[in-house]
Amino acid sequence: MKVSNVMPSHQAFSDVVKNCPISRKEIKKLANRHIKNKFPYTLDFIKSLSYKDHNYWFYNYLMEGHKKDGSYVAIRQQIYVVQTPDGESHYEWSSIPYNAVINPEEVAIKDESDRVEKSYIINPLQAVKTAKKTGKEPFVFDGNEMPLNVLSFWQWSSSELLGNALRGVLAEFIVASTIDVLEQPREEWDAYDLITKSGLKIEIKSSAYLQSWNQTELSKIIFGIQPTVLWDENNKRSEEAKRQADVYVFCVLAHKDKGTVNPLDLSQWDFYVLDTKVLNDKVPKQKTITLSSLLKLNPSQIKYDGLTSEINKRQ
């Protein structure tokens, strides 16, 4: 991993006054595990410092002597103990050139960067886990509860179920209700929409003939199927664009009468289930697909009461 050659100002570092959480005796024991030849050694404390809420204690470990054949051996290790913000302590070591100058500040910068990248420590800007709401959670101002709560926000923002934006979320909810995963709230930026308890990843796509606005004709049924790139926990973008789910469920609000359309009436919905492999084989780079083209790929065509068994076939 590359580390910037630009050193932070000394204000970024501070001295650690408390004792190292791992004793010198234990450090010697840990260091000796890495060395097969047992020669006299010294363990010299260099310094301690704090960097980004991590405490470091640095030691120089030197073992030297002559083998039975008379050859001289010198093994030098840079040893440090790092205490992370959760209170856990870790012992680290690495071989360094005999005459190398140890730079604790530079080591601390690289160690902290490596631990964030490898998720050894908590990134303060990591993704926020969504907690399921009851609707009763109040808004507050200056520590006082307001006569507003999450339910009133939902009623205001989420009543237009026929609209394009919310209809897609509703379709995800409908499918989720058939595979027993409603206890986990929806995540906006997941690579796929749903995952079953056995690990099957599902992408949900929705479309409808009727919209909430004025129409002069029924809308065409079209779904987005574009391959996507994946962003991992460290906010790194995958190099390859691909379809991330194992199976697609295409949901069509098939009702065509505005006077009686009701997205909550599950009998008004049609569902088409298709393995992602079929899309990859037949339309690998295609970004959208019409209902007529989808039907040529022979998806399973079902109603709401058939979703559970159809998805379970693919587990």
Digit-coded pLDDT (tens) for 145-162:
999 999 999 999 999 999
**pLDDT of the residue at 79:** 82
Whether 67 and 210 share a structural domain? no
Any idea which of 48-52, 104-108, 118-122, 165-169 has the lowest mean pLDDT? 118-122
Higher pLDDT, 272 or 9: 272
> Of the spans 17-31, 209-223, 235-249, which averages the highest pLDDT?
209-223
% of the chain residues with pLDDT over 70: 83
Instruction: State which of 117, 150, 185 marks the end of a domain.
Output: 117
Q: Is the pLDDT of residue 116 over 90?
A: no
% of the chain residues with pLDDT over 90: 48
Whether 107 and 176 share a structural domain? no
Kindly state the tokens that stand for 27: 């450090």
Mean pLDDT, rounded, of the chain: 84
Task: Answer whether residue 140 is part of any domain.
Answer: no
How many structural domains compose the chain? Answer: 2
Summarised one tens digit per residue, pLDDT across range 11-44 is: 466 776 578 888 888 887 777 766 555 667 788 8
Whether 307 and 211 share a structural domain? yes
Whether 174 and 296 share a structural domain? yes
Task: Answer whether residue 170 is part of any domain.
Answer: yes
The pTM score is: 0.62
